[in-house]
Amino acid sequence: MNVTCCRPLLNCLAPDHPFLISSLKMYLEPPEVPPQVYYLANTSSLNLESEQQALDVMEMVYKDNMTNGFFLEAGAQNCEWSVTLPLEANFGWKGLLVEIVPDFYNQCLSVGRRSHIINTCLGAQKSPHFIDFDFESVGVIKAGNTSGKAMAGFATKDHSNMVITVQCFPVYSLLLTMGNPKVNLFVLDIEGYELAILRTIPWDKVDIEVISVETDLAGKVQKDSSPELITKFLEDQGYTKFRHRNDYHAGTGLDQNSLFVRNDVVKARNVKQLGNFPL
């Protein structure tokens, strides 16, 4: 899919409209069959220990005993710096990798992932929509006495000259293109607009067990957001928050990501917080 190509008609459709779903299926890049050898710059990225989020999900939630799971990961970056790669490589998980940045997407195609890939962005509205996307950075993020540029994301008023109007699609629509499976892990890392994405999901129509969401930029870009608001929103949807281990981000002074497990899963799998954290 060319990110500069937009189809206005799709914006008029409900997220579960058959024509929208059939259109999105045309954008999917399926995995090679049979699976090929991974082509990686560093094979250590296959190790579960290389991805703290994946390690926590397997040790805290699934007790290293979940094979053939399903994930949704956005953004997938180059699909090698990927939370879900160790789950795919070592436990047979499959899923959908969402990446809007063309350079990253093209790298994804060369890695040999065993999951579907789509070159688009998650929508911040309940139907498809156009939005300006800054392919350089969402802007400078200030925390205390430090500041630094975040990665690409929805354009702000202080945007770069790398802004292009793109078409984004709801999480629900993308899941329907995959048959609306049980999602064992949803990785959401889109540089500050995570709450907007979560608000679009019809929670009574999806089956998402675990969410690992970037929270440290909440409120830095999307102003009606904060780590606390994300936590409150997901608790209202029936999730319990846990902390990722070894996830402190010196640039923001916060944990970079937060782990949310649906309450029935917490009970069924006896999910407990691991790691030593100050009270």
The pLDDT tens digits of the residues spanning 234-268 come to 999 999 999 999 999 887 889 999 999 999 999 99
Distance CA(116)–CA(110), nearest Å, equals 13
Mean pLDDT of 164-173: 96
Mean pLDDT of 197-207: 98
Asked if the model's pLDDT at residue 144 lies above 80, the reply is no
Distance CA(33)–CA(226), nearest Å, equals 42
pLDDT at 146: 59
**57 to each of 1, 12, 82, 160, 266, how far by Cα in Å?**
31, 37, 14, 36, 12
Distance CA(230)–CA(117), nearest Å, equals 27
Mean pLDDT of 142-159: 66
pLDDT at 140: 63
Q: Which of 262, 256, 246, 179 is nearest to 218 (CA)?
A: 256
Q: Is the dihedral of CA 67, 200, 116, 101 positive or negative?
A: negative
CATH class of 8-268: alpha beta
pLDDT at 1: 44
Residue 69 structure tokens: 């799971």
* Every domain of the chain and the residues it spans: 8-268
**22 to each of 19, 79, 105, 178, 204, how far by Cα in Å?**
5, 25, 21, 11, 23
Asked if the model's pLDDT at residue 47 lies above 80, the reply is yes
